[in-house]
Amino acid sequence: MFVFNSDNQKVFAKETADLTQAYYNISNDHLKSIGFSFVRNLELTNRMDDRVKMDIFEDGKGNKIVLVCVTQIKPDEGEVCHHSCFAPESYMSSLAKEHERYWQ
């Protein structure tokens, strides 16, 4: 799903560098509750014409969490969204618990 043209690949790689990926759907409110603030949104298109939305959050201490939603258009299903989260490894346990509260 993260197959981009050269320019978009550079943007994606820069925003997710040194972060661990997990297939979590985390709310903006939860990120705010642990000290992160929304700083920017990027919208990219991959080579399959799927829309890739990236919401970038930072905590002012050099930590970043990137929420990614890839929206695919399926003829038989309509829009299908795939969520993932890129974060420092030290936050993964906390994010996993938050994800499991709503998605298990």
> What pLDDT digit, counting tens, does each position of 10-61 carry?
999 999 999 999 999 999 999 999 999 999 999 988 877 788 899 999 999 9
Q: Where are the domains of the chain?
A: 6-103
- pLDDT tens digits, residue range 62-88? 999 999 998 877 777 777 778 899 999
Sign (positive or negative) of CA dihedral 53, 80, 91, 9: negative
Q: What is the pLDDT of residue 75?
A: 75
Does the pTM surpass 0.85? The reply is: yes
pLDDT at 104: 62
Give the Cα separation of 74 and 13 in Å (integer).
26
pLDDT of residue 6: 81
Tokens for 98, please give them: 């938050």
